[in-house]
């Protein structure tokens, strides 16, 4: 049963299971909040959330929680005390781990695995944040925000998904940041369908997926994908035939960064290497790529071309001051107006293979489990605001292996 709030100043933090409260003096906390402890006071995460009010912190102790959690209360924070030991397990039968349909909800410092659809899922919200999350071996997506805005994914890890490890979909402007994350062994490390506008992907590692970073236009339901900034990422070896995949995602195989029917994207200062097909490429999909700027990147060891532009190509694609060895068209930095049919031939071949059903890919259910990931410092800290500009971490730095 939901609690009735006091009319006086609310207190902060429930200590253990005693119900004793203490006052918080943290400068970055809400004026007042309660800490709701799972399982010490409430046996499940869902029970804790059902008994929370806006501003509260649901603090989850180590354990495996076999539940599908739905969040309807705005402005709450759900946080594990140990990222690697607080596990929501879908048991290969529940669709979602954590499904958020309320504004300004943060989820922090926990793992979701073995859901048949998506691990962490915000839908149609204003204000979201996922920090210090691990998502692995789920049936579609890892960490996902759909038709949402003003949010951030950070210090998180996603592997073993047949669609995308990280996904932002169908909103512009999105007002979002993905920073300091790792994606590996997914079909796509990042997919952004018809998403952009004040959207930045930075300082992250994208490796051993079938494709690395893929802003894309998939249909005409929404306007074409546009206006994503991709900067200071390490993108390598995204041609993993053992990663899980499906017909919709396989055509992107073997690329580091792909603007797939996108426009006005800024791709700058990334290190991209070791891809079967392309390092950085703009390719027609539903609409021609146009007004994309690819500059000051370091690209090497691509099987077909380090830099590439397919046909038909729209106007205004510019490739400037990159370090690379091969390109299609060959003089891509001086004349990229028409693109090159040899680029399109690679994608056409892979689309045909996908449509035939005879394409490589592993099973998402049995991908390798990840190593332990860095856990959040001070999980007892007060909750922080939820927006694209609020981070739990230190100043971001260029990613290294």
Phi, psi of 368 (to 5 degrees): -60, 140
Does the residue 178 lie in any domain? yes
Radius of gyration of the chain (CA): 22
Average pLDDT, the chain: 92
Any domain includes 45: no
**Pseudo-torsion of CA 244, 197, 270, 359, nearest 10°?**
20
308 beta partners = 281, 328
pLDDT at 14 > cutoff 90: no
Could you tell me which residues are beta bridge partners of residue 111? 87, 134
Residue that the structure tokens 């106007």 belong to:
315
Q: Where are the beta strands (DSSP E) in 276-397?
A: 278-283, 293-295, 298-302, 305-309, 318-320, 327-328
Which of residues 108 and 15 earns the better pLDDT score? 108
pLDDT, position 5: 33
In this predicted structure, the answer to whether residue 20 has a pLDDT above a threshold of 80 is no
Give the residue carrying structure tokens 């709450």. 76
Token reading at 90: 């879908």
Checking if the pLDDT of 154 tops 90, the result is yes
User: Cα dist. 77→33, 270, 385 in Å?
Assistant: 10, 33, 9
Does residue 19 carry a pLDDT above 60?
Answer: no
What pLDDT score was predicted for residue 7?
26
Expressed in percent and rounded to 5, the helix, strand and coil fractions of the chain are 5, 40, 55
Identify whether the C-beta of residue 151 lies closer than 8 Å to the C-beta of residue 176: yes
What is the pLDDT, as a whole number, of residue 166?
98
Does residue 272 belong to any structural domain of this protein?
Answer: yes
- What three-state secondary structure class fits 400? coil
For residue range 216-246, what is the model confidence (pLDDT) as tens digits? Answer: 999 999 999 999 999 999 999 999 999 999 9
Q: How confident is the model at residue 335 (pLDDT cuts 50, 70, 90)?
A: confident
Q: Is the pLDDT of residue 18 over 60?
A: no
Q: Which residues contact 358 (CB under 8 A, 6 or more apart)?
A: none
Counting residues of the chain whose pLDDT is more than 90, the rounded percentage is 89
**Is the confidence at residue 344, as pLDDT, over 90?**
yes
Q: Does any domain span residue 320?
A: yes
CA 70, 11, 154, 292 dihedral sign is positive
Q: Is the pLDDT of residue 24 over 80?
A: no
Phi/psi of residue 93, nearest 5 degrees: -140, -25
Residue 383 lies in a domain: no
Q: What is the pLDDT of residue 394?
A: 62
- Nearest of 176, 117, 115, 173 to residue 145 by alpha carbon: 176
Residues belonging to the chain? 401
**CB within 8 Å of 183: residues ≥ 6 apart:** 142, 157, 158, 159, 165, 166, 189, 190, 204, 205, 206, 207, 209, 212
Which of 257, 265, 253, 326 lies closest to 290 in space, CA to CA?
A: 265
Q: How confident is the model at residue 26 (pLDDT cuts 50, 70, 90)?
A: very low
- Find the mean pLDDT for residues 92-99: 98
DSSP-assigned letter for residue 364: G
Residue 66 CA to residue 44 CA, distance in Å, equals 9
Q: Among 21-30, 228-237, 332-341, 374-383, which is the least confidently predicted range?
A: 21-30
Residue 241 maps to a domain: yes
- pLDDT tens column, 238-293: 999 999 999 999 999 999 999 999 999 999 999 999 999 999 999 999 999 999 99
The better pLDDT of the pair 22, 101 is held by 101
CA distance 256 to 190: 11
Q: Is residue 105 part of a domain?
A: no
Is residue 308 assigned to a domain? yes
| Torsion region of 327: left, alpha or beta (phi above 0 gives left; psi -120 to 50 gives alpha) | beta
Q: What is the pTM of this model?
A: 0.92
| 265: CATH | 2.160.20.10
The domain containing residue 147 runs over which residues? 117-366
**Banded model confidence at residue 396, pLDDT cuts 50, 70, 90:** low
**How many structural domains comprise the chain?**
1
Token pair listed for 302: 């691509």
Quick one: pLDDT at residue 12? 35
398 pLDDT band, cuts 50/70/90, is: low
27-34 long-range contacts, CB within 8 A, separation 24+: 28/382, 28/384, 28/385, 29/382, 29/383, 29/384, 30/55, 30/382, 30/383, 33/57, 33/382, 33/383, 34/10
pLDDT tens digits, one per residue of 283-309? 999 999 999 999 999 999 999 999 999
pLDDT of residue 400: 61
Rounded-to-integer distance, Cα 157 and Cα 391, Å: 16
In angstroms, the CA 87 to CA 135 distance is 10
């Amino acid at each position: 049963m939901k609690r009735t709030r006091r009319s006086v100043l609310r207190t902060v933090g429930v200590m253990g299971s005693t119900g004793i409260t203490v006052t918080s003096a943290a400068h970055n906390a809400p004026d007042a909040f309660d800490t709701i402890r799972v399982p010490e006071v409430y046996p499940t995460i869902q029970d804790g959330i059902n008994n929370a009010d806006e501003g509260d912190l649901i603090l989850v102790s180590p354990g495996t929680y076999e539940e599908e959690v739905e969040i309807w209360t705005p402005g709450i924070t759900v946080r594990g005390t140990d990222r690697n030991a607080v596990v929501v397990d879908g048991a290969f039968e529940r669709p979602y781990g954590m499904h958020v349909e309320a504004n300004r909800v943060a989820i922090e410092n926990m793992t979701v695995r073995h859901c048949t659809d998506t691990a962490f899922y915000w839908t149609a919200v204003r204000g979201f944040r996922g920090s210090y999350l691990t998502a692995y071996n789920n049936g579609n997506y890892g960490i996902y925000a759909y038709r949402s805005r003003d949010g951030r994914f950070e210090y998180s890890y996603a592997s073993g998904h047949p669609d995308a490890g990280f996904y932002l979909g169908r909103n512009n402007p999105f007002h979002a940041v993905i920073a300091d994350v790792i994606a590996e062994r997914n079909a796509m490390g990042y997919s952004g369908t018809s998403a952009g506008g004040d959207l930045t992907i930075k300082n992250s590692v994208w490796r051993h997926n079938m494709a690395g970073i893929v802003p894309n236009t998939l249909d005409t339901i929404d306007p074409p994908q546009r206006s994503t900034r991709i900067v200071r990422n390490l993108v390598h070896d995204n041609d993993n035939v053992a990663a899980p995949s499906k017909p919709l995602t396989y055509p992107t195989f073997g690329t580091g960064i792909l603007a797939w029917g996108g426009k006005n994207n800024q791709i700058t200062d990334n290190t991209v290497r070791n891809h079967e097909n392309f390092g950085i490429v703009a390719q027609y999909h539903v609409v021609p790529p146009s007004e994309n700027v690819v500059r000051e990147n370091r690209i090497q060891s691509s099987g077909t071309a380090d830099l590439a532009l397919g046909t038909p190509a729209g106007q205004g694609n510019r490739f400037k001051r990159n370090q690379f060895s091969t390109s299609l068209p060959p003089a891509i930095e001086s004349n990229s107006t028409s693109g090159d049919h040899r680029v399109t031939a690679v994608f056409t071949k892979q689309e045909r293979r996908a449509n035939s059903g005879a394409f490589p890919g592993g099973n998402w259910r049995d991908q390798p489990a990840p190593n332990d990931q860095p856990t959040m410092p001070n999980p007892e800290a007060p909750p922080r605001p939820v927006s694209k500009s609020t981070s739990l971490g230190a100043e971001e730095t260029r990613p290294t292996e």
